[in-house]
Amino acid sequence: MSSTVETEAVRKWHFVLHTQDPLTREQEDVLSGLDAFANGDVGLEQRPGVYSLFTCYVDAPSLTEAIEGVRG
């Protein structure tokens, strides 16, 4: 018996997530504990009280999976 395993090609994704509102202190604390920040896949740029911007570099088969990977 033989089986066929179908695999999706993994792509390198680079995208920016821009929040509508600045992050709260609690949100910053939660984010700082995510693996994506620890391993360098996500960087946070912010101007307190004005904006928060995430730059993301993720390897995944699809953009949806890349975003899910960032969320942890």
Rounded to whole angstroms, what are the CA distances from 46 to 16, 25, 27, 72? Answer: 13, 12, 13, 20
Question: How many domains, in total, are found in the chain?
Answer: 1
Domain that holds residue 53: 11-71
Question: 48, 5 in Cβ contact below 8 A?
Answer: no
Instruction: Tell me what pLDDT residue 21 has.
Output: 85
Per residue in 7-17, pLDDT tens? 679 999 999 98
Q: CA dihedral in degrees (45, 47, 28, 13; nearest 10)?
A: -20
Q: Is 4 a domain residue? A: no
Per residue in 28-71, pLDDT tens? 888 888 888 888 888 989 888 888 898 999 999 999 998 888 87
- Residue with the bigger pLDDT between 5 and 72: it is 72
Q: Is 5 a domain residue? A: no
Q: Is 29 a domain residue? A: yes
